[in-house]
Structures are given as structure tokens and as C-alpha cells.
């Protein structure tokens, strides 16, 4: 029996595979497509996603190939410089096309021992108290302790598991593609900027290898979004909005997306879990989709590994839904708001002008940007201590940065006084005696996903929290 089968080989699935392998969990990843996609839906990563790569010691691979962009105008395209004093060592967006992100995550997972099988489509599943039986399109079947659906917005796993996906259908549709243009960029740019004064869902810009990324509202909402648009569709809509089609030609890929907003009613059904777009879909405004999926995987990975290895305390797997569902719900709400602010009708434009005034206040700008880059998340862990439930930064220690101590994906007790002990949890939690001027607490217990589970100095309370998150003492 395989420990965990992951359906879906996008960034979320690959991130989860790497996290599970870090803990020695047997992983088989099944991907329906024969080859990785060339479609660039996501253009990069926000601060929290870059932080988790740093926590696992692989961030340099991404920084080497990415481009740092300032966090200006990220909330609904409202023109405002990036706020100062952002609570992260990565106060920028890391520009990196999704296919490269996916490739790097795949390399990491495979290096750790994950097995990836392409051209494998899941068509059925059944589960019992011991595991999940997965049926494939070729007539074969596999058996695993757990199954995780990372198979996108049209998730087969979600449907087979009978998990509801309530929300709103698309009301707006956008054409997205990469192609060449037939006029000089110096001639195209002023036209594009003029259109964007009123239509924020429109854009053309140099992208890579002589190509241009083209974004333009579609004529309407298609009945079947699996049917990809053609070059004529782009030309027609470009002329409708800009008065010219810019001579677009030689498309490398073309796609469409809508503003449909849906969220799975539950992220778990027995031994079946959902992560990434399989659990939530929303407009790409603000660039939050890929990041939300990576962070789902980061939250679920260590918990699922704990269950496989038999030390997961009661209810640990249920905390995945309890923690991540509200986060995605907030992202859905934020993207809905931004889509409204980008509409051209009088009402939305009036609200946009009010928001434009509000973001001139530094604290408002900071609040909205930190919401988008996911550094302001606080899980409700039932504590009044403001540290508990928040992700911890890369604290400066005597021995270096805290993130350097998190590469193995274990829990960490950062003990500034050296008076505490992890006792029988030493096989799951590292006891780090060190000091940091940036930490205003005697000690903190940090989960493998980088969130603070406890802060204080009382050994008895520490042991209660160790048992809550890391099971019984050995």
C-alpha cells in the first residue's frame, strides 16, 4: 500500500510531494497530462511563498531565475507605491513564470524521492477505514493510505469524493495569451496605457524571448471554458478596446479565465483531501492563486506525514480544513472586491475613487498589501497571545537565521533562556537554545510549517502544547 497518492502535478501537488518526502513518506504523484503545461497562468510568488521555500533551503533556485518586482499597485491596480516596513525579508513579488516554478518544485520533489507518473488519469475512488482505492483510466487501480486532490478547479477527486463546491459562476471572462505583435513596442505602449486608464482588465507587455503577454476582456462568458480561444478572438477584442489589434501573430499559447468564485465545503472527506484550485477558485487579481495552493500544501504536508508515521494527535488532520478554509475564504472575498473595483461602470468607479483616497494612508496600504502577500495570516489556535497562530519570520540568531534551522521540516522549540526541554518529543521537535533581539518572548514552539504554536516559559504548558501538536511523548 502506498502512503499517499497525489492527483495533479501542478505547483501545489509538487510542493506537497516534496513536503511528504522530507518526512520519509512514500509518495506517488499522478498527472493526467503527458507533458508539463506551457501556459503561464501565474507570473510569480508573493512573500509568504518565498519564505516557505527559504524555510526548506531551496529558495536560491527560485531567486536565481526570478525577477524582483516592487509591490506597487497590487490592490486592484490602484497606483500607490509599495508600503514601507513590510513584515518580511522579501518585500517584493518574485516574478517567475508558472512553468518554471512547477519545474523547480518537481525537481525538488524528485530529488527527495517522489515518484511522478504522467498520462495517468484518476477516474474513480472508493475508501474504507484502512485506505483509498484509486481507479485509473487504463483500467488499473492503486491502493493508498491517503489521497490528495491537487487536480485543479475542475477536480475529478473532489467530484468523486462528493464534496460540494458552492459559489458564483463567472460573470466576466478574460482572454490571456502569449504572442508576438506586429508594431514597435514604443508605438503600442501609449495605446495600451491609454486603454488602462479606464479598463484595468486590459494589458499588453513584453514578456520573454520576443513575445508579449496579452490580456483583454472577452466578448462574453463562454459556455465551455475548456475550448480555448483563437487568434481571431484576440484580434476582435483588441480592436474593440484599443481600436487596433497591434498586429498580433504567432501565438505560443492562448487561454481564458473567468471571475468564478467557488470554495469546497470541506477540505477533507475521510482519507481524501483537497488542496490548491481543487479546494478553491477565484479571479487571478492580485496573483494569489498559486501562492494559496503552495501554502495549502505546506500546511497539510507535515500533518499528513504525522498520520502516516502514527504519531499524529487526535484531530490534527482536521486542523487542515479549520486553518486553511478561512484563509481561502478571505482571499475569495478580497478578489471579489478587487474585481468590482476594476469595473468601468459608474458605481464601481466611485468606490474605486474612495479606495484610492484610503490607500494614501500608509497603514491602509500596508494592511491591504500584507493581506495579499499572506504575511498577516493568523490561525485561531485558541490563545490570547498575539504571537500564537502567526508565522514566524527569519529571526536573527547568534548562529544565523532561524529559517536555516527549519530545512528538515521538524518542529522547533526556540528557547532563549535554555531552561526548557522537549523531553520525549525530541524525535519530532528540535530544541534550539539561542537568542534573538527580534523575539519578545522567553521561548516559542514553532510548527513545521513555520507558525507559532506556543509562547511562554512554563514547562507544563509547553508539554501540553507539544502533545497537542506532536502527539504522545516517546
One domain, residues 40 and 162: yes
CA distance 284 to 258: 9
Rg (CA), the chain: 23
Same domain, 71 and 133: yes
pLDDT for residue 327 is more than 70: yes
Q: Which of 164, 198, 211 lies closest to 40, judged by CA?
A: 211
pLDDT (mean) for 394-400: 95
Average pLDDT over residues 303-329: 97
* pLDDT score of 368 more than 80: yes
Domain CATH number, residue 84:
3.50.50.60
Give pLDDT tens digits for 341-353. 888 889 988 999 9
User: In the predicted model, is pLDDT for residue 411 greater than 70?
Assistant: yes
Q: What is the pLDDT of residue 141?
A: 97
User: Which residues touch 374 (CB under 8 Å, ≥6 apart)?
Assistant: 46, 47, 48, 49, 288, 291, 292, 295, 327
Instruction: Please report whether residue 380 resides in a domain.
Output: no
Ordered DSSP codes for 203-214: EEEE-STT-EEE
What proportion of the chain, given as a percentage, has pLDDT over 90?
A: 80
Greatest mean pLDDT range, 119-133, 224-238, 356-370: 119-133
The CATH number of whichever domain residue 201 belongs to comes to: 3.30.70.2450
Give the end of a domain, one of 258, 291, 317: 258
The tally of CA atoms less than 13 A away on the side-chain side of residue 183 is 14
Q: Which of 312, 331, 326 is nearest to 380 (CA)?
A: 326
Range scoring the smallest mean pLDDT among 85-94, 223-232, 312-321, 423-432: 223-232
Of the candidates 251, 287, 99, 232, the one whose C-alpha atom is nearest the C-alpha of residue 177 is 251
Do 280 and 220 lie in one domain? The reply is no
Res 135 pLDDT > 80:
yes
Last residue of a domain, one of 258, 284, 306: 258
CB atoms within 10 A of CB 264: 25
**Confidence check: pLDDT of 73 > 80:** no
47 and 117 both lie in a single domain: yes
Q: Are residues 236 and 133 in the same domain?
A: no
pLDDT more than 70, % of the chain: 100
Q: What ranges in 318-472 are assigned the alpha helix state H?
A: 318-341, 346-358, 362-372, 459-470
Gap between the terminal Cα atoms of the chain: 26
pLDDT band with cut points at 50, 70 and 90 for residue 78: confident
> In the predicted model, what is the mean pLDDT of the chain?
94
Write down which residue in 236, 258, 280 finishes a domain: 258
**pLDDT over 80 (residue 157):** yes
209 CB neighbour count, 10 Å cutoff: 8
Count of structural domains within the chain: 3
String of DSSP letters for 428-444: TEEEEE---TT--SSEE
Report whether 204 contacts 154 (CB < 8 A).
no
Q: Is residue 230 part of a domain?
A: yes
Flag whether 390 is in a domain.
no
Domain co-membership, 61 together with 37: yes
Per-residue burial over 50-78, b if 16 or more Cβ lie within 10 Å, else e, is: bbbbbbbebbebbbeebeeeebbebbbbb
Together in a domain, 147 and 203: no
For residue 448, what is the domain's CATH number?
3.40.30.120
Mean pLDDT of 84-103: 92
Q: What is the mean pLDDT of residues 176-191?
A: 94
Q: Does residue 383 lie in a domain region?
A: no
Query: In 150-247, where do the E strands start and end?
Result: 167-168, 173-180, 203-206, 212-217
Is residue 329 situated within a structural domain?
Answer: yes
435 and 464 both lie in a single domain:
yes
Mean pLDDT (whole number) for 127-139: 96
Whether 385 maps to a domain, the answer reads: no
In this structure, is residue 388 part of a structural domain?
no
Per-residue pLDDT, 68: 92
- Measured between alpha carbons, how far is 454 from 464 in angstroms, rounded to an integer? 10
In a domain, 434, yes or no: yes
Contact (CB, 8 A) for 443 and 462: yes
pLDDT > 90? residue 80: no
Q: Is the pLDDT reported for residue 40 higher than 80? A: no
Domain carrying residue 464: 396-470
Residues 44-60 have a mean pLDDT of: 96
Same domain, 72 and 153: yes
pLDDT in tens, 16-28: 999 999 999 999 9
Same domain, yes or no: 6 and 88: yes
Extract long-range pairs of 421-428: CB within 8 Å, 24+ residues apart. 421/459, 422/466, 423/463, 423/466, 423/473, 424/472, 424/473, 424/474, 425/466, 425/470, 425/473, 425/474, 426/474, 427/474, 428/311, 428/470, 428/471
Residue 86 pLDDT more than 80?
Answer: yes
Q: What are 215-263's pLDDT values in tens digits? A: 999 988 877 767 889 999 999 999 999 999 999 999 998 988 888 999 9
Asked if 275 and 422 sit in the same domain, the reply is no
Do both 40 and 87 map to the same domain?
yes
Q: What is the structure's pLDDT at 225?
A: 66
Amino acid at each position: 500500500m502506498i502512503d499517499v497518492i497525489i492527483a495533479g502535478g501542478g505547483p501545489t501537488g509538487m510542493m506537497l510531494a516534496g513536503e511528504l518526502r522530507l518526512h520519509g513518506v512514500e509518495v506517488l504523484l499522478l498527472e493526467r497530462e503527458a507533458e508539463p503545461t506551457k501556459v503561464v497562468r501565474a507570473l510569480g510568488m508573493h512573500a509568504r511563498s518565498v519564505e516557505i521555500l527559504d524555510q526548506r533551503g531551496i529558495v536560491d533556485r527560485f531567486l536565481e531565475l526570478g525577477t524582483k518586482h516592487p509591490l506597487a499597485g497590487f490592490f486592484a491596480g490602484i497606483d500607490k507605491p509599495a508600503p514601507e516596513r513590510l513584515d518580511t525579508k522579501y518585500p517584493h513579488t518574485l516574478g517567475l513564470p508558472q512553468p518554471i516554478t512547477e519545474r523547480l518544485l518537481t525537481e525538488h520533489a524528485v530529488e527527495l524521492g517522489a515518484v511522478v507518473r504522467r498520462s495517468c488519469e484518476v477516474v474513480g475512488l472508493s475508501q474504507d477505514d484502512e485506505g483509498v482505492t484509486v481507479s485509473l483510466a487504463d483500467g488499473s487501480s492503486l491502493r493508498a493510505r491517503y489521497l490528495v486532490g491537487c487536480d485543479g478547479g475542475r477536480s475529478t477527486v473532489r467530484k468523486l469524493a462528493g464534496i460540494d463546491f458552492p459559489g458564483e459562476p463567472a460573470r466576466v471572462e478574460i482572454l490571456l495569451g502569449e504572442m508576438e505583435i506586429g508594431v514597435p513596442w514604443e508605438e503600442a505602449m501609449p495605446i495600451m496605457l491609454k486603454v488602462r486608464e479606464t479598463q484595468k482588465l486590459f494589458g499588453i507587455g513584453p514578456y520573454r524571448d520576443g513575445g508579449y503577454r496579452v490580456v483583454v476582456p472577452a466578448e462574453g462568458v463562454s459556455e465551455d471554458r475548456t475550448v480555448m480561444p483563437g487568434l481571431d478572438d484576440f484580434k476582435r477584442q483588441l480592436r474593440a478596446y484599443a481600436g487596433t489589434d497591434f498586429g498580433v501573430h504567432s501565438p505560443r499559447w492562448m487561454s481564458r479565465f473567468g471571475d468564478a468564485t467557488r470554495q469546497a465545503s470541506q477540505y477533507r472527506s475521510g482519507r481524501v483531501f483537497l488542496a490548491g484550485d481543487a479546494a478553491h477558485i477565484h479571479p487571478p487579481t492580485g496573483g494569489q492563486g498559486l501562492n494559496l495552493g503552495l501554502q495549502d500544501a505546506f500546511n497539510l504536508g507535515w500533518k499528513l506525514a504525522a498520520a502516516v508515521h502514527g504519531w499524529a494527535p487526535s484531530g490534527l488532520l482536521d486542523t487542515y480544513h479549520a486553518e486553511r478554509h478561512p484563509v481561502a475564504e478571505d482571499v475569495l472575498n478580497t478578489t471579489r472586491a478587487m474585481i468590482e473595483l476594476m469595473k468601468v461602470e459608474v458605481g464601481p468607479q466611485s468606490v474605486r475613487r474612495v479606495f484610492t483616497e484610503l490607500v494614501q494612508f500608509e497603514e491602509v496600504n500596508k494592511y491591504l498589501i500584507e493581506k495579499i502577500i499572506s504575511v498577516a495570516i493568523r490561525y485561531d489556535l485558541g490563545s490570547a497571545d498575539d504571537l500564537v497562530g502567526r508565522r514566524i519570520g527569519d529571526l536573527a540568531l547568534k548562529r544565523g537565521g532561524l529559517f536555516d534551522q527549519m530545512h528538515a521540516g521538524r518542529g522547533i522549540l526556540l528557547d532563549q533562556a535554555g531552561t526548557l526541554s522537549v523531553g520525549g518529543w525530541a524525535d519530532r521537535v528540535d530544541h534550539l537554545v539561542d537568542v534573538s533581539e527580534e523575539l519578545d518572548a522567553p521561548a516559542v514552539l514553532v510548527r513545521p510549517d513555520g507558525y507559532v504554536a506556543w509562547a511562554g516559559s512554563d514547562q507544563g504548558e509547553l508539554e501540553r502544547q507539544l502533545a497537542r501538536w506532536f502527539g504522545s511523548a516517546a
